[in-house]
Amino acid sequence: MHKKNAAISNKIVVITIICAIFAVIGTAGLFLMRKATGPVEKNLPKKAHVPIQSQVVIDYNKLEKDKEIQILTQERKIKYGVEKSVDIIVKSDELLKIGDSIVPMQEILDKIRIKSGDIVEKDIEGATLPDDRIRAFGIYVVKPEDNIWNIHFKFLKDYFDHKGIALAPLADEPDKKGFSSGIGKILKFSEKIVTIYNIKENKIAVDLNLIYPLSKVVVYNMDQIFALLGRIDYNNANRIHFDGETLWINIDH
């Protein structure tokens, strides 16, 4: 009986030893396979790196000292022929800095478009979807003694001087019968196509009252205004009509 139990115990010991040997062999084999093939890489999604494009800052504060911005501003003014009536010209993909305020020109344009009833579309990241080419905008920084009529007249005079046409100082005044002159009608119309913007508060302004230093600017859409002025023959200015909304020239003699 004791011999039988001893035989069974010996078998169990042998089987245990064999299992242990196979376990060691299996572990060693798995280790060698991993070493040969290298670490198993997980198929993780790659991170998307979106390059951030730096925008050009047009700094009004540096206009009197920075030669580079002086040259850039002068080149742009000469192109449009408005060397005296605007302070700087900013493109729609640039940043405008006046005083301590920095605002993307596109942000100003979006607010102008919303005010005029246009729909501004943006992508899921908040960027405005492109709807046009890069455009230029004349910026006049409002001074405390300014009024909108004189600002516009100065712009118009600057434009006609570039064309070789000298506007009389009183060209915007009504005639003897009290009727608006052709230039006066252009000025009234221009009030509808330019924008006063409060750069400190980042919003459209309705007038020039309560002006704080470096707070309000007049924004001229250069392409839009020059497209209008380019169709006006100064010699026919007395035939210009304006009904409060539309400006036109009566071609009947």
* Residue pLDDT, tens place only, 27-50: 555 444 555 554 544 454 554 444
- Identify the pLDDT of residue 46: 54
Q: Output DSSP code: residue 237.
A: G
What are the residues whose beta carbons fall under 8 Å from the beta carbon of 111, sequence distance 6 or more?
A: 197, 203, 204
For strands 101-104 and 88-91, give the pairing.
Answer: unpaired
Share of the chain above pLDDT 70, in %: 62
pLDDT at 209 over 90: no
**Residue 93 near residue 106, CB atoms below 8 Å:** yes
Q: What is the mean pLDDT of residues 209-236?
A: 79
Q: Look up residue 208 and give its amino acid.
A: L
Tell me the range of 46-50, 197-201, 208-212 where mean pLDDT is highest. 197-201
- Identify the pLDDT of residue 11: 53
pLDDT at 109 over 80: yes
Span of 40-49, 127-136, 219-228 with lowest mean pLDDT: 40-49
- Identify the pLDDT of residue 244: 63
- Identify the pLDDT of residue 52: 44
Task: Of 139, 92, 91, give the one whose Cα is nearest residue 120.
Answer: 92
Q: What is the distance of C-alpha 156 from the center of its chain?
A: 26
Q: pTM for the full model?
A: 0.67
Domain boundaries along the sequence of the chain: 1-43, 57-249
**Residue 73 near residue 63, CB atoms below 8 Å:** yes
* Mean pLDDT rounded to a whole number for the chain: 74
Q: Look up residue 80 and give its amino acid.
A: Y
